[in-house]
Amino acid sequence: MRDSARRTLEQLDLNYFVPCRIREQTVAVLGLGKTVDGDFLSSDDVELVTTIGGYVAVALDNAKLYSSLEQKALEIARLKDSAKTSWNR
């Protein structure tokens, strides 16, 4: 980890780092501090955040898949246009 990233994390005073995992891969990490009252999270809170981390991972993966699909659709459209242009010559 870079020194600048390490300093930033220290300044944020985070106490929990929850991995957002999908298919055995970590795609993001949620960093959390204490509650508004300054208390540590309860086990129920940690369980909830862990569940949310799973949802975040799925959402990020879906966004990545959608972007890939969108790129392929654009490529197919370009190929169709190219084929039409070649056919009409």
Q: What is the pTM of this model?
A: 0.74
Residue in 37, 47, 54, 58 with CA at minimum distance from that of residue 16? 47
Mean pLDDT of the chain: 91
* Domains identified in the chain, total number: 1
- Domain membership of residue 12 as a residue range: 3-87
- Please give the Cα distance from 67 to 2 (Å, whole number): 29
At 72 the pLDDT is 95
What is the rounded average pLDDT of the residues 37-64?
Answer: 96
Cα 55 to Cα 22: distance, rounded to the nearest angstrom: 9
Residue 87: the pLDDT is 72
Mean pLDDT value across residues 59-86:
91
pLDDT (average), residues 39-50: 96
